[in-house]
């Protein structure tokens, strides 16, 4: 029997290790040598923890194998954005994107392989759902980076890679603990952002966590009719319900809004969005549409994006027009994997539609 310690909270993993070491008749201080190898001073394999006796290392490897991912592709963009495509043990591929900005290094991580929600502008959505990631595989994306180079440890983590984090709540719940706790990765809660389309029951669970984790909600449309065109999840959890849930969220929320030419980028639409965002005092993140995700949609013109941003600000909403990072390496939401797998887009589209209905 083997156990995946990397998918437990640090507290639980420590208890398991303490018990196991005690059963082997090891001295109690041993846990202080073994435990930090999970997250604080990670090793890829127990064999590399050379401060431990060889027999202990072998026994650890048998009882608690450290799951690893192998780097399939690594791309560096002209603007410094780095993209990592990892192969998991069962061959599924997921990606993380590292975005350096001054002293900050933000790592965008995946919570699922693929995504069932089929938003029309999203490359991951086109791929369909493959499977949920374990906590060890989600937080493991940070761990792998540290194994490659400890100075690469991110200062910030955002759940904006592949997948919908709140449809994998149990693993994401544990991952938040691993990322944040001092005996895990020790990243401040305010430097960790969960991005979601608004899966209401799990949004409530997330809101109940006492730490100051940040929340970003993918809105993309200020009316139910328009949102339904872009995001099938609107049929299950409506804009009105999501906005209502946000009123009860105790911390400031970010609203994500991808600008799509001729779809959701008119100044009238900005006015409608302002009506939603203003009472919440939400920050609106305006994202240029990354064309790779949706060949049949066009990005808004620069002039239109600026007009949209200006209108929101004029209405008293704090809005930021983001630069599109890593354009030359397709660093947005599932794009690298879709590119690598190739194949006919039409076939993938059918698959995405199959998965787009939400239970
Ligand atoms: N499923 C979650 C988190 C992953 S998507 C969510 O949707 O919030 C993370 C962000 O990437 C979302 O805000 C999404 O709208 C954005 N995104 C997806 N495809 C995009 C594209 N083609 N161009 C720009 N942003 C995109
Ligand atoms: Fe899934 Fe988010 Fe992409 Fe929508 S935008 S398909 S929810 S990953």
Distance CA(164)–CA(197), nearest Å, equals 8
Whether residue 59 is found in the same domain as residue 80: no
> Which residues of the chain fall short of a pLDDT of 70?
325-359
Distance CA(278)–CA(316), nearest Å, equals 7
Check if the beta carbon of residue 220 is closer than 8 Å to that of residue 257: yes
CATH of the domain at 171: 3.20.20.70
Query: How much is the pLDDT for 327?
Result: 58
Whether residue 193 is found in the same domain as residue 326: yes
- pLDDT, one tens digit per residue, over 146-198 is 999 988 899 999 999 999 999 999 999 999 999 999 999 999 999 999 999 99
Distance CA(173)–CA(205), nearest Å, equals 9
Query: How much is the pLDDT for 208?
Result: 96
Pairing state between β 93-101 and 82-87:
antiparallel
CA distances from 268 to 11, 221, 264, 265, 312 (A): 51, 12, 9, 8, 10
What are the residues whose beta carbons fall under 8 Å from the beta carbon of 244, sequence distance 6 or more?
none
Question: Domain limits at 49?
Answer: 5-63
Whether residue 125 is found in the same domain as residue 205: yes
Whether residue 205 is found in the same domain as residue 84: yes
CA of 118 to the centre of ligand 2 (A): 6
Query: How much is the pLDDT for 353?
Result: 28
Whether residue 17 is found in the same domain as residue 41: yes
CATH of the domain at 33: 1.10.150
Query: How much is the pLDDT for 280?
Result: 96
User: Which residues are part of the catalytic machinery?
Assistant: 95, 333
Give the number of the ligand closest to the Cα of residue 124: 2
In the chain, the N- to C-terminal Cα span, in Å, equals 34
Ligand 1 residue neighbourhood (C-beta within 6 Å): 121-122, 159-160, 164, 195-197, 218, 256, 258, 287, 289-290, 293-294, 332-333
Query: How much is the pLDDT for 326?
Result: 66
- pTM score, whole prediction: 0.92
Query: How much is the pLDDT for 189?
Result: 98
Distance CA(359)–CA(355), nearest Å, equals 10
Domains in the chain: how many in total? 2
Check if the beta carbon of residue 305 is closer than 8 Å to that of residue 322: no
- pLDDT, one tens digit per residue, over 103-156 is 999 999 999 999 999 999 999 999 999 999 999 999 999 999 999 998 889 999
Whether residue 182 is found in the same domain as residue 215: yes
Helix or strand (DSSP H, E) at 340:
helix 335-341
């Amino acid at each position: 029997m083997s156990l995946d310690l990397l998918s437990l909270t640090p507290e639980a993993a420590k208890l398991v290790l303490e018990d196991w070491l005690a059963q082997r008749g090891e001295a109690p201080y041993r846990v202080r040598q073994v435990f930090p190898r999970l997250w604080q001073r990670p090793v890829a394999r127990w064999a590399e923890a050379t401060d431990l006796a060889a027999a202990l290392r072998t026994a650890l490897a048998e009882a608690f194998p450290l799951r690893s991912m192998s780097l399939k592709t690594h791309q560096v963009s002209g603007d410094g954005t780095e993209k990592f495509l990892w192969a998991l043990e069962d061959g599924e591929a997921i990606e993380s994107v590292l975005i350096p900005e001054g002293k900050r290094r933000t790592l965008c991580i995946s919570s699922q392989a693929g995504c069932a929600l089929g938003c029309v502008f999203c490359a991951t959505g086109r791929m369909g759902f493959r499977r949920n990631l374990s906590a060890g595989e989600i937080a493991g994306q940070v761990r792998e980076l540290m194994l490659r180079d400890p100075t690469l440890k991110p200062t910030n983590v955002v759940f904006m890679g592949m997948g919908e984090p709140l449809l994998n709540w149990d693993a994401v719940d544990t991952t938040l603990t691993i990322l944040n706790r001092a005996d895990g990765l020790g990243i401040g809660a305010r430097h960790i952002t969960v991005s979601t389309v608004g899966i209401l029951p799990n949004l409530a669970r997330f809101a109940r966590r006492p730490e100051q984790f940040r929340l970003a909600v993918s809105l993309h449309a200020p009316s139910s009719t328009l949102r339904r065109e872009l995001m099938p999840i609107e049929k299950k959890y409506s804009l009105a319900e999501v906005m209502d849930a946000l009123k009860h969220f105790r911390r400031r929320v970010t609203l994500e809004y991808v600008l799509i030419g001729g779809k959701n980028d008119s100044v009238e639409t900005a006015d409608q969005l302002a009506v939603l965002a203003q009472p919440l005092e939400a920050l609106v993140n305006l994202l240029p549409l990354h064309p790779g995700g949706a060949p049949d949609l066009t990005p808004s013109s620069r002039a239109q994006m600026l007009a949209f941003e200006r209108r929101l600000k004029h209405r008293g909403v704090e809005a930021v027009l983001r630069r599109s990072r890593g354009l030359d390496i397709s660093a947005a939401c599932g794009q690298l994997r879709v590119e690598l797998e190739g194949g006919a887009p039409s076939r993938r589209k059918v698959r995405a539609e199959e998965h787009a209905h939400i239970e």
